[in-house]
Amino acid sequence: MTRVATTCRLCLKPAQLMLSHIIPEFMYEETYDDKHRTLRVDRQSPSRPRTLQKGLRERLLCADCESRLSKYEAHAAPIVKGLPTLPIDPSGLHLESQFVDYRLFKLFEMSLLWRAAVSNEPLFAGAKLKKAEPRLQEMLAGERPGSRHDFGCTLALIPQTVHLDRIIGPPVRLILGGFHCVRFQIGPIFWHFFLSDFPKAHSIPKLFLTEKGRLTVVLPQWNEREILLGIARALTDPGV
4 vs 201, beta carbon nearer Zn ion: 4
For position 11 contacting Zn ion by CB under 5 A, the verdict is: yes
92 burial class (0-12, 13-18, 19+ CB within 10 angstroms)? exposed
What's the CA gap between 130 and 208, in Å, rounded? 23
With CB under 5 A as the contact rule, which of the stretches 63-71, 154-162, 206-214, 224-232 interacts with Zn ion? Answer: 63-71
Cα separation, 129 vs 123, whole angstroms = 15
Query: Closer CB to Zn ion, residue 73 or residue 181?
Result: 73
Q: Which stretch binds Zn ion (CB under 5 A): 54-62, 80-88, 131-139, 147-155?
A: 54-62
How far lies 34's CA from each of 51, 73, 168, 232, in Å?
Answer: 13, 24, 18, 25
Q: Does 17 help bind Zn ion (rule: CB under 5 A)?
A: no
Name residues whose C-beta falls within 8 Å of residue 113's C-beta, 6 or more positions apart in sequence. 127, 129, 136, 151, 153, 182, 193
**65 binds Zn ion, rule: CB under 5 A:** yes
- 212 phi/psi in degrees, rounded to 5: -85, 0
Nearer to Zn ion, 11 or 231 (CB): 11
Applying CB under 5 A, which part among 11-19, 72-80, 105-113, 151-159 lies near Zn ion?
11-19
CA 180/CA 197 separation, integer angstroms = 9
Q: How many residues bind Zn ion (CB under 5 A)?
A: 5
Span of 43-51, 56-64, 111-119, 157-165 interacting with Zn ion by CB under 5 A: 56-64
* Short-list 196, 10, 202, CA closest to 107: 10
Residue nearest to Zn ion (CB): 8
CA-based nearest residue to 24, from 56, 59, 50: 56
- Residue from 18, 62, 80, 217 touching Zn ion (CB under 5 A): that is 62
Is 151 in contact with 182 (CB distance < 8 Å)?
no
Q: Which x/- pattern, by CB under 5 A, does the window 103-132 give for Zn ion?
A: ------------------------------
Please report how close the Cβ of residue 38 comes to Zn ion at its closest, in angstroms. 28
Please choose, out of 2-10, 22-30, 103-111, 115-123, the segment that lies near Zn ion by the rule CB under 5 A: 2-10
Amino acid making up residue 163: H
Binding interface with Zn ion (CB under 5 A): 8, 10-11, 62, 65
